[in-house]
Amino acid sequence: MSTIYDLHTHSTASDGTLSPTQLVLRAVAAQVQGLALTDHDTLGGLEEAAAVAHLHSIHWIPGIEISVTWNSKTIHIVGLNIDPSSSELQAGLSALNNRRANRAVEMGLSLAKHGIPDAFEGASKLSNGDLISRTHFARFLVQYGYVPDERQVFKRFLVAGKPGYVPGQWASIEDALSWIIQAGGQAVLAHPARYKLTANDLRRLIEIFRTLGGCALEVVSGSHSRDDSLSVAKLAREFGLLSSAGSDFHDPKTANIEVGRLPALPDGCVPIWQNWGKQLPTIPQI
C-alpha cells in the first residue's frame, strides 16, 4: 500500500468538529501513516492528539495553520514539525488570538445591525471557549435557520461586502515564517490555488515565501481540483520547493473531504516527507 500522509487537518481546538482524539482515531482507522493536526492559530489540540497518536503506529507531526494578511488578502501558512513549546510561536499566536476575539465581537455587532441578534453568543457557545472563527458563526447561522447550509453562508454573510464581515488583521508573512522557523518547523504555503490571486501576484507571493525560508507548497489539498494541483506542482518545481498534501478535513459531514483520502502527488513533485523516514516510530521488538 502506498504511504498516506495527511498534513492538513482540524480539530475542535479550532473550527473542526472532531476532538483531537477522535481525529487521530479516524486517521488510524483510515490507515493514514503520517498525520499532522494543523488547527488555525492554536496549539491547543496538539498535546491530546500526540498522546493518542503515540498509542498507535502512526507518524505524528505537530502542526499549525497560521492566518496571514498579505497584500490585503488572507492567506494561510502551515507549519509542520513545530515544537509546540516554542515561546516565540506561542507569543505570536496569542497576539493573533486577541485580535481574533475582538473581531468576533465586531462580527456579532454587524450581524445584529442586520437583524440577526445573539450571533456572538451563539458562535462562542459553538466554539466551546476555544478559538472562535467564521466557521462557528456559519454553524450558528445554519442552526438558527438563517441560511440552509454553510456554503451558502459564505456567499451571503461573513465575506467582503456582506453582513457580518469584519476583515481579519492577521500576522505578517515575515512573522509567520519566523515563528515557524524558530519553532524548528517547516513552512508550507497552504492551498495556493484558493486565493484567487493573479498569476503574477501568486508568483510574487511564492518568491517572498521562499526568500523567507518557506519549504513547500501544498500541491494536493481538499480545496484543490486536479488542475489546481497540477498547476501548483509546476510552480513547486519551478521555484525548487517541496510538495505537501493535506485534506483540510474539518467535519465528517463535509462532502468529498475525508482524513487521508488524497490523490497522489503529481509526477515530478518532491514530497516534504521524503526525509522524515528517520522519525518514523520504531515498533518495539518483543
Residues in the site for ligand AMP, rule: CB under 6 A? Answer: 15, 40, 67, 133-135, 150-151, 154, 168, 250
Reading phi first (left if > 0) and then psi (alpha if -120 to 50, else beta), residue 129 is in left
Q: How many CB atoms lie within 10 A of CB 238?
A: 10
Q: Which does 224 bind (CB under 5 to 8 A by kind): ligand AMP, Mn ion, none?
A: none
Bridge pairing between strands 34-37 and 73-80: unpaired
Q: How far is the CB of 74 from Mn ion (least distance, A)?
A: 9
Maximum distance among all Cα pairs of the chain, rounded to whole angstroms: 66
Q: How far is the CB of 41 from ligand AMP (least distance, A)?
A: 8
- Rule CB under 5 A: choose which of 26, 59, 76, 224 binds Mn ion: 76
- 93 within 8 A of 99, measured Cβ to Cβ: no
- Position 215, amino acid: C
What secondary structure letter does DSSP report for 224? -
Of 25 and 36, CB closest to Mn ion: 36
Alpha-helical runs (H) found in 72-118: 87-113
Q: Which does 67 bind (CB under 5 to 8 A by kind): ligand AMP, Mn ion, none?
A: ligand AMP
By CB under 5 A, residue 39 contacts Mn ion: no
Q: How far is the CB of 153 from ligand AMP (least distance, A)?
A: 7
By CB under 5 A, residue 218 contacts Mn ion: no
Kindly identify the residues of this chain, within the stretch 233-262, that bind Mn ion according to CB under 5 A: 248
Q: Which does 84 bind (CB under 5 to 8 A by kind): ligand AMP, Mn ion, none?
A: none
Backbone angles phi, psi at 64, to 5 degrees: -155, 150
C-alpha atoms less than 13 angstroms from C-alpha of 88 in its C-beta half-sphere: 13
By CB under 5 A, residue 139 contacts Mn ion: no
Q: Which does 125 bind (CB under 5 to 8 A by kind): ligand AMP, Mn ion, none?
A: none
- From 166-174, 182-190, 208-216, 235-243, span contacting Mn ion (CB under 5 A): 182-190
Reading phi first (left if > 0) and then psi (alpha if -120 to 50, else beta), residue 216 is in beta
Task: Pull the grid cell for residue 41.
Answer: 492559530
Q: Which does 59 bind (CB under 5 to 8 A by kind): Mn ion, ligand AMP, none?
A: none
Q: Dihedral sign for Cα 164, 169, 173, 178, please.
A: negative
Q: How far is the CB of 239 from ligand AMP (least distance, A)?
A: 25
Using CB under 5 A as the criterion, which residues of the chain lie in contact with Mn ion when the complex forms?
15, 65, 76, 190, 248
